[in-house]
């Protein structure tokens, strides 16, 4: 039996790295996609260290340029084999600004990463998945997909669009055996940059551990197809959730 390929687009430190390690540990071959090779370096090392993947490879693509995603996925399929799972983990800049300070350029760029790039990934893998009658397509998202924000409007607008895309794809292609999931993180991740941002507010357990989040992706991946979730929320047990 040939090994299965897991492709991660936006395979940086934090969640990307944890996902690469988690699926490598289960025996997937891992294809990491980011703009620069350095951007995937931590995920690359983690997948190698997980020990179980026959192959871990890097492919260049820029989420802002959909044709580069198409090309990367074509190469992965050619050189590594059928993609069993694609995780779209790229995201736009998460920078605070009030709505009136958004620029048109920022609105467009953000959309290109959050929605157009995600669609390019879907477009590149779905025909083969539908033909095979199986495959999984996961979109990393956030609670911002559920409500607008006075302070992070760009992020909300992008994630709303991503959720609409994910639902539309799920409604159209689940029946072909492809598991399409919008994974909503309702929390911040416990990574160095966040610990710094939290400063004195940081305490163990208040942020989601990336390895735990990757574990929940892995569990969701295993759902049998007559009992699928298409939208998953993830939050630490300490989260005071409002939605």
State which residue, 2 or 201, has the beta carbon closest to a copy of itself.
Answer: 201
What phi and psi, each to the nearest 5 degrees, are found at residue 224?
-75, 150
DSSP string covering 142-184, please?
Answer: EGGGGS--SS-HHHHHHHHHHHHHHHHHHHHHGGGTEEEEEEE
CB of 15 to a copy of itself, least distance (A): 10
How near is the Cβ of 101 to a copy of itself at its closest, in Å? 10
Rounded to the nearest whole angstrom, what is the least distance from the CB of residue 11 to a copy of itself in the complex? 19
Task: Dig out the tokens for 231 from the structure.
Answer: 């939208």
**Any bridge partners for residue 86, and if so which?**
7, 137
Q: How far is the CB of 59 from a copy of itself (least distance, A)?
A: 20
Residue nearer to a copy of itself on the CB measure, 26 or 212: 212
Distance CA 234, CA 187 (A): 8
Nearer residue to a copy of itself within complex by CB, 79 or 101: 101
Cα 9 to Cα 88: distance, rounded to the nearest angstrom: 5
Query: Closest approach of Cβ 71 to a copy of itself, in Å?
Result: 14
CB of 55 to a copy of itself, least distance (A): 27
CA-based R_g, the chain, Å: 17
Nearer CB in complex with a copy of itself: 82/233:
233
Round to whole Å and give the CA distance between 213 and 184. 11
Q: Which is nearer to a copy of itself, 7 or 44 (CB)?
A: 7
* Cα gap 100→140, rounded to integer Å: 27
Q: In what order do the strands lie in the sheet with 5-9?
A: 56-60, 29-34, 5-9, 83-88, 135-142, 178-185
Cβ distance to a copy of itself smaller for residue 56 or 63: 63
């Amino acid at each position: 039996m040939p090994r299965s390929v897991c492709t991660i687009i936006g395979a940086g430190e934090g969640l990307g790295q944890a996902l690469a390690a988690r699926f490598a540990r289960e025996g997937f071959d891992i294809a990491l996609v980011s703009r620069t090779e350095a951007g995937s370096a931590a995920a690359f090392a983690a997948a190698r260290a997980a020990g179980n993947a026959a192959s871990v490879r890097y492919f260049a693509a820029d989420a802002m340029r959909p044709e580069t995603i198409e090309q990367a996925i074509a190469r992965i399929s050619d050189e590594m084999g059928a993609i069993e799972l694609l995780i779209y983990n790229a995201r736009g800049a998460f920078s605070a600004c009030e709505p009136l300070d958004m620029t048109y350029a920022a609105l467009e760029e953000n959309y290109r990463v959050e929605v157009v790039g995600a669609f390019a990934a879907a477009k590149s893998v779905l025909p083969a998945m539908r033909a095979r009658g199986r495959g999984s397509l996961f979109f990393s998202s956030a609670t911002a997909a559920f409500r607008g924000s006075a302070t992070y409007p760009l992020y909300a607008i992008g994630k709303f669009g991503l959720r609409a895309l994910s639902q539309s794809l799920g409604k159209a292609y689940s029946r072909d055996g492809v598991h399409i999931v919008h994974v909503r993180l309702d929390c911040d991740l416990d990574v160095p940059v966040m610990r710094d941002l939290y400063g004195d507010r940081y305490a163990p357990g208040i942020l989601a551990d990336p390895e735990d989040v990757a574990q929940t992706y892995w569990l969701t991946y295993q759902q049998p197809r007559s009992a699928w979730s298409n939208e998953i929320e993830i939050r630490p047990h300490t989260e005071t959730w409002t939605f």
